Structure 1
Amino acid sequence: MWTVIDSPVGELRLVEHDGALTAIEFAPFEDKHLRGERDDAHPLLVETARQLAAYFARELQDFDLPLAPVGSDFQHRVWAALREIGYGETASYGQVAARLGMTAAASRAVGLANGRNPIPIVVPCHRVIGANGTLTGYAGGLPRKQLLLGLESAALF
């Protein structure tokens, strides 16, 4: 099931499967994660929309949703590490690699896994920045990344 909601970063499509959130997509949408019919009243999608609205209103810092992103074991390890980066904080790709017990040489692999995160915002891939503190690529585009980081901490940018 899926639904579409409005947000400060544009329309978001929320996708669930078997009672877990599997994707959040930025418009314009592709159909790669789409399963089932649109259901604006599905309880998990309604709860996801509620938590996202609270996040955008700066009333929620930690999401509590069942997640089921599809990916490799390595991607799942990276995505779990992303969830450890606190609200209003950032980490470099090298720092994420180090948290996984890898050398800085793994930064590129971490970056690739980060870029394939199917549940942005909830799995906060926007909190990963370049080693020199600059904003680097973001699947939703750098303006969205900057907006999300600014939302979390106006002191960052």
Structure 2
Amino acid sequence: MQNVIDAATSLVNTAATYTGLTSPTSQTHSHAEEHAHRSTLPTDVMEVGTVKKMDSAGLGVFEEETVRHEVLVKINKLAVEDARHGISYYHPLRYFTVTRPIGVEYIGEIEIEAGKSIHVRAHKASPSHPATFHSLDTRPSDEGGAVFKTGEPLGWFDY
């Protein structure tokens, strides 16, 4: 499993470097600091929920078949050389919601190995629609890339 995490981190870091997603400004601010500011939220936000332990509503989103599948596919794409081993540890831990006119965004922490997690964004257009995967949170390589220590601050990300 460590190979998957290392490969994912390396690939995300390489992609960030080649696409210019790292800059002198991003290197001087921590990821947690960026998420601490509510100004990063979209302007159409109607309500922001508090971070809470995973419950049935959160599990209904993050364990939804297509969301889980797309999260695991994304992880495997980030760790191409270890994709044949797959991911066997997938434990949604906590989440918060952001209500917008287009539906509800779910920002969640999913543990993929003891003490190591990813932050996932999913969207649900309405209670009758299934949840859809949106993206994984990533950060500069010197801050850990896509893998977070379980329990790190969970915040909005818009990519």
- TM-score in terms of structure 2 length: 0.28
Higher-strand-fraction structure:
2
- TM-score in terms of structure 1 length: 0.28
Higher relative contact order (CA 8 A, sep 6+): 2
